[in-house]
Amino acid sequence: MRMWMVDPKIMCQKHLCGEHVECHMFIGSIKAGTSMSGYVAKNLLESTSLQERHDLLSQEMKNRKYNHNSPLLVTENILNNIPTEQRSITINRDEALKDLLSRCPICRKRFEELYGKDSNQGTS
């Protein structure tokens, strides 16, 4: 599971829908009391952005005419299951973008079409 935190417009279908599902999985794990320490330490989870990120991904899915029927409600009560010091951690968006573009030629192509080959855009 991971949050990429890049512009959803550059993401291929697999990564867009995958991160959307993983937002739901993160919330399920957090509700169950599972420790998120490893995900935070590995720069894969930005817990305070789960709601906003889900909404951005959902909107992009709708823009592409994908079905979206899984609303997500992240409450403060849920986030209280994450230690306070971990809630302030943010994902390094530049590193996440580099990682995504190095892994996925489709995302890289979408990025280049939107921003150009040498752009440092694409983080949100």
The values of phi and psi at residue 82, to 5°, are -105, 130
The DSSP code for 48 is G
Q: Which residue has the tokens 């009560």?
A: 77
The one-digit pLDDT tens for each residue of the chain (124 residues) are: 999 999 999 999 999 999 999 999 999 999 999 999 999 999 999 999 999 999 999 999 999 999 999 999 999 999 999 999 999 999 999 999 999 999 999 999 999 999 987 666 666 5
pTM of the predicted structure, to 2 decimals: 0.91
Query: Where in the chain are the domains?
Result: 8-115
Alpha-carbon distances of 43 from 8, 95, 117, rounded to whole Å: 18, 9, 25
Residue 27 amino acid letter: I
The burial of 28, by beta-carbon neighbours within 10 Å (0-12 exposed, 13-18 middle, 19 or more buried), is given as exposed
Handedness of CA 100, 31, 28, 53 (dihedral sign): negative
* Angle of helix 13-31 versus helix 50-63 axis, rounded to 10: 150
- Residue 86's pLDDT is what? 92
What pLDDT does 117 receive?
79
